[in-house]
Amino acid sequence: MDKATFKELLELFKSGEAEELEIQHSFWHGIRIRLSRRRPVGQVAEPEGIRPLPQPLASAGDPATSASATPASDGLYTVLAPMVGTFYRSPAPEAEPFVREGERIKPGQTICLIEAMKIMNEIEADLAGEVVAILVGAGEPVEYNQPLMKIRPA
């Protein structure tokens, strides 16, 4: 490329008619010039009226989730679903259930699974006691804060 052509291209860039100018001349990688008016990706202006979504306070990094238990007037605690998903009583269809009605449980013991977004989340007991009732069937969908089990505290 001759100097006149190069100067003409440079003037086009300076005048604002071109946002980017890249010249490559190679005889084993000789002369490479790159000029750009574009902003780097990290500096894109945010349109007015659009705000970023608030970040959740808790992360779901730990697959073992503690179910919240709330006391009722009859002295029984209700185990509530900590998330939306599918309820499972056992780790596999042919396996024994984690707990049965009438069994004693202890804090930290896995009492069921809730599948959410193809991830099996172990739900652990908050308190020691006896399982009085299991309120959801295996494979049934559950909503956030839906009652799962009734526990009589020890």
Q: Could you read off the pLDDT tens digit of each residue along the chain, which spans 154 residues?
A: 677 887 887 787 788 777 777 777 766 667 777 777 665 555 555 455 555 555 554 444 444 555 556 566 678 999 999 999 999 999 998 999 999 999 999 999 999 999 999 999 999 999 999 999 999 999 999 999 999 999 999 8
Same domain, 21 and 78: no
Tell me, yes or no, whether 57 lies in a domain. no
**Does a structural domain hold residue 78?**
yes
Whether residues 143 and 78 fall in one domain: yes
Domain tally for the chain?
2
pLDDT of residue 60: 44
pLDDT in tens, 74-113: 789 999 999 999 999 999 989 999 999 999 999 999 999 9
Q: What CATH number should be reported for the domain holding residue 120?
A: 2.40.50.100
Give yes or no: residues 12 and 80 share one domain.
no
Q: Is residue 48 part of a domain?
A: no
Same domain, 140 and 70: yes
Query: What pLDDT score was predicted for residue 29?
Result: 66
**Range of the structural domain that residue 74 is part of:** 65-153
The verdict on 149 and 89 lying in the same domain is yes
Judge if 89 and 146 occupy the same domain: yes
Is there a domain that residue 49 lies in? no
Instruction: Give the pLDDT score at 57.
Output: 45
For residues 76 and 124, membership in a common domain is answered with: yes
pLDDT of residue 103: 96
Quote the tokens at residue 136.
């959801």
Give me the pLDDT at residue 62, please: 47
Classify residue 108: in a domain, yes or no. yes
Q: For the chain, where are the E strands, in sequence order?
A: 20-24, 32-36, 64-66, 68-71, 77-80, 85-88, 104-105, 110-116, 119-124, 129-134, 141-142, 147-153
Q: Looking at this protein, which amino acid is placed at residue 19?
A: E
Q: Tell whether 58 is covered by a domain.
A: no
Same domain for 143 and 82? yes
